[in-house]
Amino acid sequence: MPTPATQPRLGLIHTSATLVPMFEQLCREQLPHVAVFNLVDDSLIKDVIAHGRLRPATARRVVLHVAAAEAAGADTIMVTCSSIGRAVETATLLVDVPVLRVDRPMAERAVATATRIGVIATLPTTLDPTADLIERCAAEAGRRVTITARLCDGAFAALMSGDAAGHDERVTRALEELAAQVDVIALAQASMARVVAALPPDPARPPILASPPLAMEWLAPRLLPGRDRAGEAACQTF
């Protein structure tokens, strides 16, 4: 077991404090001997939503947050928001430690699983970056895929107003509709994972991929000595 002085350090960068408990729980379960710290800046996602896109000024701030996590001692950094994914890719080139987009392992798993891929989101600013990432992963893998994107209208507004049940109902309805059209579904937002966890079992439903557990699965063999590194080649680029 690593001592505190030799523990790997994982820096998590979030655009919402609501994600911290979920990721900390996943880290306790899957990365028990890794020291984890969180950086949260919700102004990043608020700016993306307000302008409908990731602006250069916001992307620069994402890069600064990644650099700050490196300066704080992170051996590996993961950014948990898909809407700022392109900025994360830029940051990867400017620091000396690995930087992971939370949705990259999910995108690669979707491409490896099926050719008819559904992408679902409650924000258009997250839907487009996730679909774009899946398309690029498919191109890198030499696979042709068809992507069906679905926006859960009203779900995000419901969640922001405190109506979690209304949010979950809209997401569930959209999932059911999309399931009839595709062979695998990728959730564009980490916050949607809990909705899927509450769905009743249905063997006819296509696989639904959530980015948090798949990202942890990717990180575990890299941060914990002795873990099985099978499948490493599938997620080398991020």
At 34 the pLDDT is 94
| Token code pair at residue 121 | 């989101």
Question: Which CATH number applies to 9-102+213-229?
Answer: 3.40.50.1860
pLDDT band at 95; cut points 50, 70, 90: very high
**Residue 191, number of CB atoms within 10 A of its CB:** 23
Can you tell me the distance from the alpha carbon of 30 to that of 180, in angstroms, rounded to the nearest whole number?
33
Q: 39 - beta bridge partners?
A: 13
* Secondary structure (3-state) at 237: coil
At 3 the pLDDT is 53
Percent composition of the chain: helix, strand, coil (DSSP 3-state, to 5):
55, 15, 30
Domain 104-211 part of CATH 3.30.1330.10: no
pLDDT digit string (tens) for 195-207? Answer: 888 888 888 899 9
Identical topology for domains 9-102+213-229 and 104-211: yes
Nearby residues of 18 by Cβ (< 8 Å), 6 or more positions away: 191
The domains of the chain are located at: 9-102+213-229, 104-211
116 pLDDT above the threshold of 90: yes
Percent of the chain with pLDDT over 70: 92
- In this structure, of 43-47, 196-200, 206-210, the range with the lowest mean pLDDT score is 196-200
Supply the pTM of this predicted model. Answer: 0.87
| Token code pair at residue 102 | 């939370």
Q: Which residue type sits at 16?
A: S
